[in-house]
C-alpha cells in the first residue's frame, strides 16, 4: 500500500465508525449521512496526489498539503455547495468556515446544456472531524 494512503488509514483508526474503500493507490471515505459527500485521495506513486470531494478535485505535489486537504474535507470547517440545473449537478464549490462566514475556495464544473433552467443550490457537509484544529 502507498505510504500516504497508509498514513490516512492509521489516522482514521481514531474514528471506528468511518467506512472507507481502499486500494493500493487510493482511499475513499464514504459520508456518514445523506447530506455528506465522499472524500478521496489518489496517489500516482511519484509524489503527486489528487484529492476529491465528490466531483470537485484538486491536484497536489506536496504530501502534507494533500493530507491537510483530505482532512479538511472530512471536517465541519468545509462544505460543498452544489449548483444544480434541474436535478443535475453542474458545479461543485468548496467553501470554508471563517468564524461563521462561509468563504468560497474553488469550484469545479461541467458543461451546462440546460442554461435556461433556474439554478438551485444544495449544501453538503461532513462532520467526521469536528474542526481542523482537533
Task: Tell me the per-residue pLDDT of 10-54, one tens digit each, with 9 for 90 and over.
Answer: 999 999 999 999 998 999 999 998 999 999 999 998 999 999 999
Residue-range domain boundaries for the chain: 3-73, 78-124
pLDDT band at 116 (very low <50, low <70, confident <90, very high): confident
Can you give the pLDDT at residue 85?
93
Cite the DSSP H helix spans in 1-134: 3-12, 63-73
Q: Record the pTM.
A: 0.92
Answer for the pair 65, 47: CB distance below 8 angstroms, yes or no: no
**How far is it, in rounded angstroms, from Cα 30 to Cα 21?**
8
pLDDT band at 132 (very low <50, low <70, confident <90, very high): low
Q: What are the grid coordinates assigned to 111, written together?
A: 458543461
Amino acid at each position: 500500500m502507498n505510504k500516504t494512503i497508509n498514513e490516512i488509514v492509521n489516522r482514521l483508526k481514531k474514528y471506528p465508525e468511518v467506512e472507507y474503500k481502499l486500494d493500493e493507490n487510493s482511499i475513499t471515505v464514504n459520508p456518514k449521512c445523506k447530506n455528506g459527500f465522499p472524500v478521496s485521495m489518489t496517489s500516482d506513486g511519484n509524489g503527486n496526489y489528487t484529492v476529491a470531494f465528490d466531483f470537485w478535485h484538486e491536484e497536489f505535489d506536496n504530501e502534507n498539503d494533500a493530507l491537510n486537504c483530505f482532512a479538511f474535507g472530512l471536517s465541519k470547517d468545509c462544505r460543498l455547495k452544489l449548483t444544480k440545473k434541474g436535478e443535475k449537478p453542474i458545479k461543485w464549490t468548496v467553501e470554508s468556515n471563517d468564524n461563521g462566514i462561509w468563504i468560497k475556495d474553488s469550484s469545479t464544473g461541467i458543461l451546462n446544456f440546460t442554461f435556461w433552467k433556474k439554478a438551485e443550490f444544495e449544501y453538503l457537509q461532513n462532520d467526521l472531524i469536528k474542526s481542523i484544529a482537533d
